[in-house]
């Protein structure tokens, strides 16, 4: 029993529900921002920084968008595992697409794709076993 609190469990449940609502609100904001960075990165750059994004910054903005969508998924009531699986899978697909489409690529692009594919497979196995 906590001094000064007559109904400790009821307060904890209210706090838990309040936290879930705030996390859901944060998740919606992060997902919306992430989708905007994926779909119209240059416009987001213009609105946030006052300058259009060009060249390699567009690809980096899209990777950031993927990360924000995954963060939103992780903040949504449920498991953070799904957020990391979302991020790793989407980044693997996107950077592989950038490499195959002839976009900017450095010497670590394909190793990064391989690491994210492997991580995505491991996360999928874990997710599948915990269902």
- pLDDT tens digit sequence for 59-114: 999 999 999 999 988 888 767 888 889 999 999 999 999 999 988 888 999 999 99
User: How would residue 10 be classed by pLDDT, with cut points 50, 70 and 90?
Assistant: low
Return the closest-CA partner of residue 66 out of 107, 46, 95.
95
Return the closest-CA partner of residue 24 out of 95, 62, 74, 70.
74
pLDDT at position 20: 80
User: How would residue 56 be classed by pLDDT, with cut points 50, 70 and 90?
Assistant: very high
C-alpha–C-alpha distance, residues 4 and 129, integer Å: 44
CA dihedral sign of residues 64, 62, 35, 81: negative
């Amino acid at each position: 029993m906590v001094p000064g609190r007559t109904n400790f469990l009821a307060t904890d449940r209210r706090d838990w529900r309040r936290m879930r609502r705030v996390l859901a609100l944060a998740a919606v904001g992060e997902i919306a921002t992430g989708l905007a960075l994926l779909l119209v990165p240059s416009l987001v750059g213009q609105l946030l920084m006052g300058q259009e994004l060009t060249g390699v910054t567009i690809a980096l903005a899209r990777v950031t968008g993927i990360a924000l969508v995954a963060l939103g998924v992780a903040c949504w009531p449920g498991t953070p595992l799904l957020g990391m699986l979302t991020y790793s899978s989407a980044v693997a697909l996107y950077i592989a697409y950038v490499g195959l489409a002839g976009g900017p690529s450095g010497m670590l692009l394909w190793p990064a794709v391989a690491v994210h594919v492997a991580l995505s497979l491991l996360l999928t196995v874990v997710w599948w076993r915990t269902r």
